Amino acid sequence: MKTASPIVPDNHSSSTICRGCWDQMRMPIPIRGPLALPFRVFGITRSKMNPDICTICERAFHYVKKQRQVTAVATILFADIRGFTDLSERIEAVKLSRIVSLFQDSCAQAIWAHDGIVNKQMGDGLMAIFNFPIVRKDHAGAAIMAALDIQRACTAALNGLNADIDGLPDRMLGVGVGIHTGDVQIGEFSSFRSDFTAIGGVVNLAARLESQAAAGEILVSAETAAQAPSLTAGTELRPLMLKGIEQQVQARVLIKS
């Protein structure tokens, strides 16, 4: 007798099971609805990395993958507020916190909408992973679409803050984004924390691209662009010498619409 497949809707706000556990283990772990209540007793709840995955994915990587680290193809996205350091010397901490919260919330919504996870939040910056633990074949394109949504949302929100908060300089704050695709090591790399993350050259290059992106720009590596030609065709090609990387990197430049 066939077992009915659990419903895994495309809309992240209505998924009833953990999409990470389903994609990685074919285990239908409930995260919403009455069936999720017994799991909450044992501390299994929705993850803060993405509301469509559970804390088994987030905190028990070695149980999910049966080993502490694996090599996986993924797309890594870094985003950061441009002008934040200068701004932090001009306005109060409470006002700064409003800007950071607005940025992080806007980024998270865009990343979740395209099946990525917010793996790390670093004040005025963040790192996202696409294609793990939620599997998505078009992860490079998903990351670019998330970046475009981030730019649109953050531009509107930060423009609003210019008018709402006294002390903001006339120039608009902006967000820089870097994206790269390739093989990464994903797993638990600390004996003190069990949350998983990604490391390796792909992660480093994505971070370097983000550091070179001006406000409103998205810098996309050649590897990512090759997997999403419809989103990068006709865009500016920018050669870059990046810190810690010997050879010149050819990046595609997407500017916010």
Q: Which domain holds residue 53?
A: 12-59
Same domain, 48 and 158: no
> Cα–Cα distance between 130 and 253 in angstroms, integer?
20
Same domain, 140 and 46: no
The answer to the question of residue 6 being in a domain is no
**C-alpha distances out from residue 19 to 31, 52, 128, 182, 238, Å:** 9, 6, 17, 22, 37
The answer to the question of residue 91 being in a domain is yes
Same domain, 49 and 74: no
Number of structural domains in the chain = 2
Same domain, 21 and 128: no
Same domain, 140 and 34: no
Q: What DSSP character marks residue 235?
A: P
Confidence check: pLDDT of 58 > 50: yes
Same domain, 138 and 44: no
Same domain, 214 and 182: yes
Same domain, 142 and 55: no
Q: What is the pLDDT of residues 160-182, one digit of tens each?
A: 766 555 555 555 578 999 999 99
Same domain, 151 and 55: no
> Cα–Cα distance between 115 and 143 in angstroms, integer?
9
Same domain, 41 and 112: no
The answer to the question of residue 65 being in a domain is no
What is the percent of the chain where pLDDT is above 90? 61
Between residues 63 and 77, which one has the greater pLDDT? 77
Q: What is the pLDDT of residues 7-56, one digit of tens each?
A: 333 444 568 999 999 998 899 999 999 999 999 999 999 999 999 999 98
Which residues, including other chains, have CB under 8 Å from residue 169's CB and lie 6 or more apart? 83, 87, 90
- pLDDT band with cut points at 50, 70 and 90 for residue 224: very high
* End-to-end Cα separation, the chain, in angstroms: 52
